[in-house]
Amino acid sequence: MTRNVLFDTDPGCDDAVMLAMALGHDAVDVVGLSTVCGNSTVTNTTRNALAILDHGGFDVPVARGCERPLVDDLTTAEWIHGEGGLRGDLPDPTSEPVDQHGADFIVEQAREHGDDLTIAAVGPLTNLAIALAKEPALPEMVDDIYLMGGAAFQSGNVTPAAEANFHNDPAAASRVIQDAEAKMVGLDVTNGASPAPETIDSYGERGGGFGVVADWIGYPEAAQGVGQDRLAVHDAAVAADLVDPGVLSFEEYFCEVDTTGGPSHGAVVCDQYGVRDAEPNASVAVDMDLERFRSVFRAGVEGYAAAVDGADG
């Protein structure tokens, strides 16, 4: 059964790999992308999203979203993802974004597809927070809402406490955690979303469409972080579970996001032991089946690479 998915994204190398996986796998129908600032400016992330699609010949609407966080200053990560936010040398896109804001596009797609739609927000949550403000019934309208962000039981990756996407816009993350009834896929599992080293090596050797993905996945800084000694393609964990539900295991918890501006700004506070006696408000990913993840990863990238090579041919 094919799953209709709207990705809210900030490409970004790991976002690009995730999109390649999803676009290249028959189990997912990517119905649209909304772009947000994060790994780079929204101008760059929108350009990158269009280029990823165009290079494989995929006709998917892209809506440009928010250019800054709700409250905080924008912090980008070109030092990791490369100049313009994406490593490699993709041709400039020929397509254009739709004439609609990303937050409005999310709401429109939810109304159009209803419970046949899954929303996967894998960047800062600014667009999704605004979409929830515009349409509070959004969680009831769609099938699932996935988030790549946060860390319930792990240290952070941009501060000792906070993960990058949540730290980039803590106010938006707080609103989404409160209201979205979401599946939170955080560093607790994504730190382990590591393709086999021999798979990564083979992509550069094979060239063509695989070489495009190799440019995105071959950035050494992606393997750096607290306690990490191997490449983690964080967003890819979401795509894998969309294709093969059960790659990730979830448990229900009550969570909050720290927006106080102190040393834990943007951190997830997860009530692991129920001391607040509050009803759970998030499904937190707590484990990942690595072999199933790697199988989905390989299949999706192979599909995308074939599309790129076909478009170039």
Q: Domain-by-domain residue ranges, the chain? A: 3-312
CA distance to 179, 180, 217, 275, 313, per residue, from 172 (Å): 11, 11, 28, 25, 43
Q: Angle CA(311)–CA(121)–CA(213) in degrees, nearest 5?
A: 35
Catalytic annotation on 234?
Answer: yes
On average, the pLDDT of the chain sits at: 94
pLDDT score, position 219: 61
Report the percent of the chain where pLDDT is more than 70: 96
**pLDDT band at 82, cuts 50/70/90?**
confident
pLDDT, tens digit (0-9, with 9 covering 90-100), for 167-199: 999 999 999 999 999 999 999 999 999 999 899
Q: Degrees (nearest 5) of the Cα angle 133, 136, 138?
A: 110
pLDDT(312) > 90:
no
Q: What is the end-to-end Cα distance of the chain in Å, rounded? A: 30
> What's the predicted TM-score (pTM) here?
0.96
User: What is the rounded distance in angstroms from the CA atom of residue 103 to the CA atom of residue 133?
Assistant: 10
Confidence of residue 108 (pLDDT cuts 50, 70, 90): very high
- The string of pLDDT tens digits covering residues 204-225 is 899 999 999 999 987 654 444 4
Each residue of 221-270: pLDDT tens digit? 444 443 445 688 999 999 999 999 999 999 999 999 999 999 999 999 99
Rounded to an integer, the average pLDDT of 279-285 is 98
Which is nearest to 11 in space by CA: 1, 3, 19? 19
Identify the pLDDT of residue 174.
98
The confidence score (pLDDT) of residue 313 equals 63
The active-site residue, picked from 55, 81, 234, 265, is 234
- Give the model's pLDDT for residue 227: 43
The percent of residues above 90 in pLDDT, for the chain, comes to 88
Locus of tokens 């941009």? 158
Which of 4-18, 220-234, 289-303 bottoms out in mean pLDDT, i.e. has the lowest?
220-234
Q: Spell out the residues 6+ positions from residue 251 whose beta carbon is closer than 8 angstroms to its own.
A: 283, 284, 286
CA distance 243 to 19: 12
Going by the DSSP 8-state scheme, the letter that residue 82 receives in this structure is: -
Task: Return the residue matching tokens 């190799």.
Answer: 214
Secondary structure class of 12 (helix, strand, coil):
coil
Q: Which CATH architecture has domain 3-312?
A: Alpha-Beta Complex (3.90)
Cα distance between residue 214 and residue 210, in whole Å: 6
